[in-house]
Amino acid sequence: MLQSKRKETLKIYRVLFNEITKKGIEQAFEKPGTIDLNRVDAQQARRILDRLVGYKISPLLWDKVRRGLSAGRVQTVALRLVVEREQEIKAFEKKEYWTIDARLRALSAPQFVARLARKDGASIEIGDEKSSNTIIEAVRESDWVIDSVSSRERKRNPVAPFITSTLQQESARRVRFSVKRTMMLAQRLYEGIELGREGAVGLITYMRTDSVRVSDAAITECRGFIQEQYGSAYLPQKPNLYRTNKKAQDAHEAIRPTSVKHTPDLLKKYLSEDELKVYTLIWNRFVASQMMPALFDQTSIEINVEGRDKSSYLFRVSGSAPKFDGFRRIYEEGKDQKDQEDVDLKTKLPVVVKGEKLTLKQFLPQQHFTEPPPRFTEATLVKELEARGVGRPSTYAAILSTIQDREYVKKTRGRFIPTELGTIVTQLLLEAFDDIFDVAYTAKLEEELDEIEDGNRSWRESIGAFYDKFSKDLENAAKTMTDMKRLERPTDLKCDKCDRSMVIRWGRHGSFIACSGYPDCTNTRELTVDLPDVDSSDLSKMEGETDYCPNCGRPMALKRGRFGMFHACTGYPDCKTTRQVGEQERKADVPLDEKCPQCGSQMMRKTGRFGEFTACGNYPDCRFIKQETIGLACPRAGCEGEILQRRSKRGKIFYGCTRYPDCDFTSWAKPIDMKCPECGNPYMEAKTLKSGSFLQCPNGECKHKMAAVEEAS
């Protein structure tokens, strides 16, 4: 009975803090709250939805495609966006158009270039060179007179402090970090960094947030810092306030430094290079958000030209000149691509007046073609997901990592390209679950979850309504979904071993050609795709090599295989000669005056796909390859090995000990035989960035840097 009474009087509180600092945690405990059961229900509903989709659909993919695959309520929608963008690109038909620029000279310098904008008051489209030349001839001998000059002051306001998604996007644009890496580095900054006598200090507020709200105390501190460091000209009369999206949860503040006094310059010696890059972004963005707008003087000039064809042509040019840098003194937001503002800032205009006559110096007609939509980068895919209301900012890092880990997409030059596997999985899932993986439907589910959190909807009703439809789709998919493992598509090819028909099958590594007589005949062939738009003359221009097979004299054809583009003899299967795109004639093996330590044969200097190497001349009977050391003893205490240069499976160079696996010393950077002058570490590492080459101590507590010297390299 006594125990029951104690349970009745027991009260449980929820403490919410935004930063791991002494002040932040003390303030949180001063105002404890209660557990919000609506939020608990919303989280529970989200977890059930995700597990229903993942746990029920993933086994279907294991059975129909291959084991190890997965589907997800948001993950598959993200993949669908990538696949559909690729389909748009492939279906895109480019269209020719022309622009006409005119280089002009006014009474004062400099010369400038104006572009044709309108004809007879309407927008103009120039479809081909003939139309372009017709217009040029119509205005070549005309008078070029300034019709109007307008100048105005343009203001650009600072942007709000980071939320999770904008931090991920800006980090991808500015410092080329993946979403996953950005969040990992932000986590470290949030949890705390040792700052000498200060001890461990949480440097930023919580990094999983969708609110741009900032506490009054943080704003006050920031405004004081701006006044002190930059002067009153950079400080607005009132704090800059930003509006949070109405769909945001607003549980935490925006991502900001816990104290603006911890400037990036002061923290250089405590943070790693990558941590400093992310912290600098966060610090600069937050301080800039409380500064004055940037001001520009913008001038627009319009030139009216009466053509010989009795038409009126309007040429236009605009330029901007910075007047006051404002927040741009410390921060400039990154862009996915250049815009008109970038062009205007580079355009220098003379001082002119209305009615002034100009001298035509040169016409600059230019041919263009419309371009397909660009493939997604991590930044633009996160931006698209957020704009469509799909998923939560806190889940984007995991989603982007998963679709890469599952080999649904690959990243080439920072942009996502769907693999054959990703395309097939998307097609199968959309055929069976078109509504669940519909972008609009997924966004609607997010709205329902928000309604549950606000207490306006029952989580049981939402889950029940979802499952009624989902269970029927699941049952139907198990019966009707295409079985890729057992699917055979006929071809016109004949097996060169048993003369049966060849078929296209699906395997662990994608599509391939196999004999229909399997298992009696196990003959297989790599599936290639001929590219009819690339002929032999193009190949000759591309590579500077013969476009005929060196073995049988037949033409070589450009094909696409599982591992990329290659050339193959058109005489296949009689002739099976192939070569990689861009592959040059291999150098002849050079005999060396040394013997193989394993079989006694002569060693040879050979050339492989990654360059020259020394190996036994008795290959393939003897596969000995000489390991090339860099002349440095292994720095690991007690190890008698030497450091040699190795290559990973993907061809990336790294350095390791000759006594591996007894000694597991490895380094991605080249070790240099030089003691660290700061901490005495037995070696330094040579590194190269865009800013130049330097040496750095690998000791995480030191990180001493110094200029690279020729002897060290």
Instruction: Round to the nearest angstrom and report the end-to-end CA distance of the chain.
Output: 79
What pLDDT, on the 0 to 100 scale, is given for residue 136?
A: 92
Strand pairing category for 200-201 and 193-194? antiparallel
Amino acid making up residue 643: I
Report domain extents, the chain.
Answer: 37-92+389-480, 96-156+301-369, 164-292
Strands (E), 175-258: 193-194, 200-201
> In sequence order, what are the beta bridge partners of 249?
none
Return the DSSP state at 327: G
d(CA 237, CA 239): 7
| SS percent in the chain: helix, strand, coil, step 5 | 30, 25, 40
Which residue among 13, 97, 206, 270 is the active-site one? 206
The DSSP secondary structure of 350-391, one letter per residue, reads: ----TT-EEEEEEEEEEEEE--PPPPPBHHHHHHHHHHTT-S
Cβ neighbour number for residue 255 with a 10 Å cutoff: 28
> In sequence order, what are the beta bridge partners of 123?
118
Collect all residues with Cβ–Cβ distance below 8 Å to 650 and sequence separation of at least 6: none
The DSSP secondary structure of 384-434, one letter per residue, reads: HHHHTT-S-GGGHHHHHHHHHHTTSEEEETTEEEE-HHHHHHHHHHHHH-T
Return the DSSP state at 234: G
Angle between the 273-289 and 164-174 helix axes, to the nearest 10 degrees?
120
d(CA 120, CA 139): 13
Contact 662, 684 (CB under 8 A): no
d(CA 15, CA 519): 65
d(CA 274, CA 287): 20
d(CA 631, CA 292): 57
pLDDT digits 0-9 by tens, 550-560: 666 666 676 65
Return the DSSP state at 548: B
d(CA 151, CA 160): 29
The DSSP secondary structure of 336-349, one letter per residue, reads: SS--HHHHHHH---
> What's the token pair of residue 347?
């355009």
What pLDDT, on the 0 to 100 scale, is given for residue 687?
A: 82
Collect all residues with Cβ–Cβ distance below 8 Å to 6 and sequence separation of at least 6: none
> Domain 96-156+301-369: what homologous superfamily?
Topoisomerase I, domain 3 (2.70.20.10)
Helices (H), 484-614: 536-543
> What's the token pair of residue 521?
């005949």
Rounded to 5°, angle at Cα 273 from 268 and 277: 85
> What's the token pair of residue 148?
């109007």
Asked: is 37-92+389-480 a CATH 1.10.460.10 domain? The reply is yes
User: Which regions in the chain score pLDDT beneath 70?
Assistant: 1-10, 246-250, 336-342, 344, 527-556, 558-567, 573-576, 579-588, 607-612, 649-651, 690-692, 708-713
**Which residue, among 56, 150, 139, has the nearest Cα to 104 in the 3D structure?**
139
Amino acid making up residue 362: Q
What pLDDT, on the 0 to 100 scale, is given for residue 569?
A: 74
The CATH number corresponding to 164-292 among 3.50.50.60, 3.90.1580.10, 1.10.290.10, 3.40.30.10 equals 1.10.290.10
Collect all residues with Cβ–Cβ distance below 8 Å to 215 and sequence separation of at least 6: 18, 253
What pLDDT, on the 0 to 100 scale, is given for residue 184?
A: 92
d(CA 23, CA 352): 60
Q: For the range 123-131, what are the long-range contacts, defined as Cβ-Cβ under 8 Å and sequence gap of 24 or more?
A: 125/97, 126/97, 126/98, 126/99, 126/100, 127/96, 127/97, 127/98, 128/96, 128/98, 129/98, 129/365, 129/367, 131/98
Angle between the 273-289 and 179-191 helix axes, to the nearest 10 degrees?
80
Amino acid making up residue 81: L
pLDDT digits 0-9 by tens, 231-263: 999 999 999 998 877 666 667 889 999 999 999
Q: For the range 668-676, what are the long-range contacts, defined as Cβ-Cβ under 8 Å and sequence gap of 24 or more?
A: 669/696, 669/698, 670/630, 671/630, 671/632, 671/635, 671/643, 672/632, 672/712, 672/713, 673/631, 673/632, 674/712, 676/702, 676/704
What pLDDT, on the 0 to 100 scale, is given for residue 539?
A: 30
What pLDDT, on the 0 to 100 scale, is given for residue 532?
A: 35
What pLDDT, on the 0 to 100 scale, is given for residue 341?
A: 67
Active site residue 206: yes
Three-class SS state of 198: helix
